[in-house]
Structure 1
Amino acid sequence: MSDMYRSKTMDQISEGDIGSQLKIAGWVENIRDHGGVSFIDLRDMYGVMQVVLRDGDLLKDVRKEECLSIEGVIEERDEETYNPKIPTGTIELEAHKINVLGKVYTDLPFEVSSSKEIREDVRLKYRYLDLRNRKVKDNIKFRSEVISFLRKKMDDLGFMEIQTPILCASSPEGARDYIVPSRKYKGQFYALPQAPQQYKQLLMVSGIDKYYQVAPCFRDEDARADRSPGEFYQLDFEMSFATQEDVFKIGEEVLAETFKKFAPEGSSVTETPFPVISYEQAMLEFGTDKPDLRNPLRIVDVTDFFQRCTFKPFHDKTVRAIKVHANLSKGFHEKLLKFAQSIGMAGLGYLEVKEDMTYKGPIDKFIPDDMKKELADTAALEAGDVIFFIAASEKLACQFAGQIRDELAARLDLCEKDAYRFCYINDFPMYEKDEETGQTAFTHNPFSMPQGGLEALNEKDPLDILAYQYDIVCNGVELSSGAVRNHDLDVMVKAFEIAGYNEETLKEKFGALYNAFQFGAPPHAGMAPGIDRMLMLLRNEENIREVIAFPMSGTAQDLMCGAPGEVSELQLRETHIKVRD
């Protein structure tokens, strides 16, 4: 290291350096003037060093967050001034000379040490200052370490890292594209990739056996706590001659090892193999295809039971039930009912199970005596249980039951602590009815292989066809989606035809795959765990923007650099664009 600015970084200095003359460099974290003797806490990337100034002139005009190089001698601190909170807490640098490398010209917009408590728009406008905060910087350092580990793991598993294009063709599937006008081809546009989907499949056709990439993906979507607007990164991988189970093994090995290595100390991580839950089972038992398995509550279907009872509000409805073992107050029931109404439910029926296994509650009288044991058996009821009932259309009953399950677990503090609970969700429906048009549409990835192949497409009701599609879910967060790809041209043409795309449209929109599949495409499958979401879970952050170096704001703006912004008339003219009023 050149000692023009520093001879050592903060983490390299120890008690062994006492008596040595050194240069250190960094930013002024704090200034304390004790009259006759002053102190500076100087921070670099690696730590903090206390600097003692016995010459008052040295401190003249020095401001917080200025960038300094300080030359002096390392000495031991007085024992009563030891700081056990930092590695350099037993030593300090007595300053002989200060060189200001970067001045602070204006007032700081916030104190760096407390930047995480500042409004997000201000933090993002001055993100370079926010990143000086140790906790914020540690998230970005942690991100680097995790991505490095993921790359090493994929290399060890025999995958080859290949970069795919950022400028590509617009695709009609998925979210909105970001489009890029072409200067050379008037009225034509590139798009930024929503995912490297077609390219990675084309790599399989090329004979690349195992591909991976830390892939940037671009989607013009609104922000959520677990979704960054604009761009995000995923560990994209694809394998030739692979089944769904082959992908499962790779996905769970990579994620289990990553979480075991980087999760907070004392955390529990699901052992491999991860549980595999069908989409149908997940929607029934959890009311969602993103189940949080830390929550022990399960949903039971009691539709058939209530069609044979005399409680009219439940007739001709889907009825789901959730039981908890708890002594619930009248106030608890009132608050839960209020929550149920806030999400759109008309009401929330319940029964309490007494010691003699009789029931107490508003709908007890509508259940014939000879059917009461059947309910206990169906829902595995025990004395002291309370069972809640959700009745609506099938879709809404499912959704409401999932929300009530989550709310009960939150209010009763039932979720497992310090745990990362993984599962695969598979057997997704290939098609669904579009609610607006009534047309048959793809539910998931249009490039997936239908279970049963061409025969299923030709003979089954499209809504009954399942696909070789799967998600990885951790603690209620979807980390990854993936599929066994459709590599057979005849199957692809038929699959798209059912969804309303004729062969000409298929050739036009997905020409590269259509053409490539005429030249001996191998069976292939893959998935793409989201790196930002993994980091968010590992760092226990509530918002995904906390694990991204320069995130866009929740309103999809780069407040620091001013994007999106206007461009010059010349730039518009060169790309053949006219802005409409």
Structure 2
Amino acid sequence: MFYRTHHCGELCKKDIGKTVILSGWIQKIRNLGSLIFIDLRDYFGIIQLFFSKKLINKFPKLGREFLIKINGKVVERKSKNYHIPTGEIEILVFHLYILNPSLLPPFTIEDETDGNEVIRMKYKYLDIRRSYIKKNLILRHNVSLNIRNFLSKNGFLEIETPLLINHSPEGARSFFVPSRIHKEKFYALSQSPQLFKQLLMIGGINKYFQIVKCFRDEDARSDRQIEFTQIDCEMSFVKKKDILVFFENFIKYLFKKIKNIQLESFTCMTYDDAIKMYGSDTPDLRIGMKFIEMNNFFKENKINFFKENKITTIGINIPNCSHYTNDKIKSIIKNISYNINNFFWIKYFPDKTFFSSKKELFSNENYLTIIKYFKATPGDLLFFIFGGKKNIRNILYQIRIEMSNRLNLKNSKIFKPLWIIDLPLLEWNEEEKRYKSLHHPFTSPKKEDIHLFKKNKLENIRSQSYELIINGVEIGSGSIRIHNKKIQNLIFKYLGLSVKEIQSKFGFFMKSLDYGTPPHGGIAFGLDRLIAILKGSNNIKDFIAFPKNNFGKDIMMNSPSFLEDKILKELYLYK
């Protein structure tokens, strides 16, 4: 009559003596001769069963992942396992029923599985049985629930927006859906609800949010999927500071609720400073090793190095690495840069002596001045690169990341959130020979930079944008939007869009700006990345029930796949 009176994970010592009915999957079978032990697993946990050999002989083909039902009695376990909640008890089985047999699974259904990612994605329904994946999906549920609770309590209205939309020429690559009814016309799958949430603000909605699926036809990787989930938010009558303050509290709330961690106040840094100090707009503040520019130092201390103005020297202090051999340092450089002649280093030994890879560059006195300037600790390695500003910063950024990995500086239990602000409005696209929006064409420029349009200094125009970086990963980005039609037309003009293109693609939106558009702004967070960060992981696929692989394929369903000629004809795709 009943499949279960209890769950496998809820029984404990106080239940000793009870007769119970349990159902679940066999995780392990251990045959000790006269007794057989089975670990039974369900959604809620694992419990140990034991049988007489006489009973188990009735089921000679019993194996892993068989779905069984048992009647038995809760007894005290002799060899206790304090690593699981049910480890002080076990079930003496009276009756056993096979509810459904199972083939031998292609990998072990355990946290430390022997299955690689490919085989686990092919049999994803089995991978979900693993406690590790199950807990990740529970975490995702709890995060989503807390997001909805927090935003709803703060006056945000959850509103769904369309997924089938018109293609925008200023975004990433879109996925297209052919229309059967409208011959040779296509929908685009939404990359973001950007225009719709702005239209909601124009429509008088005060605060909006949505946990929404988005689609981008980009190369997938460990922290990116072609379909992903966004926490999409927009607010009316706000300035940049209002958004940064509110969503800093939002992230703090999630970390406190989910991890019981009280985050410190978020660091705020301009884009230019991030590039200057870390060579990246997504710096990981856990690492340290801030870039130190040496040109002014050389000038102030009358140290001759390079007379050419275009040569820049930058250094970093790598802790506790003075013992690295020159060959080891050279091998690290060669893995990142082909030109080893653009580097030199100083080993500051524990006995306070030093060694320079290019002793002829400076006097001993100048070397000691440099060491003092870096506030180096005995045992540190001072590492320098010189050349063109942009190129050397990128190389030194890669050195910094490589050394942080070697030194295990990325503590997954430490979280260092960072706001990056004042990003460039436009960036030059070399392939298309024109400027494109760094974020999207609806991002408002800083008022004090608008005059730079007339001077054609487009690369110097900053935007009222912001990005949230946590431990070197971009978690969210947003901006104050353009609510003035003249400025929106100006942006489209410098993006190279013709009047006809503007009318064709954005005519409805441009018209909406004529009807009293309020100042507004918002932000979107990547839910998949946020959950992975909360768990201290860098692979978002472990937090998605049915992810695509790094080639954008679902190898379980064999998607994408070919369509039959009949369907292609209906969609006017086959002639």
TM (norm. structure 2) is 0.91
Give the counterpart of 2:238 among 238, 242, 247.
242
Give how far 1:138 is off: 1.3
Distance in 2 (alpha carbons) for counterparts of 1:417 and 1:143: 18
Indicate whether 1:335 and 2:334 are aligned.
no
The 1:34–1:327 alpha-carbon spacing in structure 2 relative to 1, beyond 3 Å, is closer
C-alpha displacement at 1:398, in angstroms? 1.6
Which of 156, 170, 189 is matched with 1:192 structurally? 189
Query: What is the match of residue 496 of structure 2?
Result: 500
Match of residue 387 from structure 2: 392
Tell me the alpha carbon deviations over residues 437-462 of structure 1, each in whole angstroms, 9 at most, x when there is no partner: 44233222221100017545345621
For residues 334-377 of structure 1, what are the alpha-carbon distances to aligned partners after superposition, in whole Å with 9 as ceiling and x for unaligned? 32322222222512212356899997524454448997788568
Is the contact between residue 215 and residue 235 of structure 1 (CA under 8 Å) also seen in structure 2?
yes
Cα shift readout 1:361-395 (whole Å, capped 9, x = no counterpart): 24454448997788568655677654322223222
The CA deviation string for residues 413-459 of structure 1, in whole angstroms up to 9 with x for no partner, is 44556200001001011122223344233222221100017545345
Range moving further from structure 2, 118-127 or 354-363: 354-363
Q: Does the 8 Å contact 1:58/1:97 carry over to 2? A: no
- Answer whether contact 1:309 1:368 (CA < 8 A) is retained: no
**Identity in percent:** 32
Match of 1:467 in 2: 463
Please name the residue that 2:313 is paired with: 319
Task: From the superposition, tell whether residues 414 and 108 of structure 1 become closer, same or farther in structure 2 (CA, over 3 Å).
Answer: closer
Moved more, 274-283 or 87-96: 87-96
Partners in 1 of 2:268 and 2:101 — Cα distance?
58
Matches within 5 A, 1:25-36: 25-36=23-34
Residue type at the aligned position of 1:237: C
Residue 131 of structure 1 corresponds to: 128
* Aligned residue-pair number: 568
Which residue of 2 is the match for residue 515 of structure 1? Answer: 511
String of CA shifts for 1:240-284, please: whole Å, max 9, x gaps. Answer: 111111111122111122123333x7xx66412x11100000001
Unaligned runs of 5+ in 1: none
Q: Which residue of 1 aligns with 2:6?
A: 8
Q: Which of the residues 165, 168, 191 maps onto 2:165?
A: 168
> What letter corresponds to residue 140 of structure 1 in structure 2?
L
Aligned to 1:88: 86
Residues 184-333 of structure 1 mapped to structure 2, 5 A cutoff: 184-228=181-225, 230-263=226-259, 270-272=263-265, 274-303=266-295, 311=305, 316-324=310-318, 326=320, 328-329=322-323, 331=325, 333=326
- 1:20 aligns with 18
CA distance in 1, matches of 2:417, 2:362: 39
Q: What is the Cα deviation at residue 129 of structure 1? A: 0.9
Aligned equivalents of 1:492 and 1:223: distance in 2? 32
Q: Is this contact kept in 2: 1:269–1:420, CA < 8 A?
A: no
Q: Distance in 1 between matches of 2:213 and 2:520?
A: 22
Task: Compare 336-345 and 347-356 and name the one that shifted more.
Answer: 347-356
2: CA distance, partners of 1:122 / 1:193: 31
- 1:472-491 counterparts in 2 under 5 A? 472-491=468-487
SS of match in other structure, 1:11:
coil
Q: Please, which of 565, 568, 571 is the counterpart of residue 564 of structure 2?
A: 568
Pair 259,87 (structure 1): closer, same or farther in 2 beyond 3 Å: same
The TM-score normalised by the length of structure 1 is 0.90
How far off is 1:324 after superposition?
A: 3.7
User: 2:552, 2:30 → 1: CA distance?
Assistant: 41
Mapped to 2, the partners of 1:376 and 1:57 lie a distance apart of 76
Give 1:66 deviation, angstroms. Answer: 1.5
RMSD: 2.8
- Change in 2 beyond 3 A, CA 1:526/1:326: same
The alpha-carbon deviation at position 501 of structure 1 amounts to 1.4
SS at the partner of 1:147?
Answer: helix
Kept after mapping to 2: 8 A contact 1:239/1:526? yes
The residue number in structure 1 matching 2:119 is: 122
Q: Which amino acid aligns with 1:149?
A: N
Q: Which amino acid aligns with 2:286?
A: R
Aligned residue runs from structure 1 range 374-413, under 5 A: 379=374, 386-413=381-408
Q: Distance in 2 between matches of 1:365 and 1:19?
A: 83
Counterpart secondary structure, 1:504: helix
Which residue of 1 is the match for residue 61 of structure 2?
Answer: 61
- Note the C-alpha offset of 1:211: 0.7
Equivalent in the alignment of 2:443:
448
Q: Which runs of no fewer than 5 residues in structure 2 stay unpaired?
A: none
Q: Which amino acid aligns with 2:457?
A: D
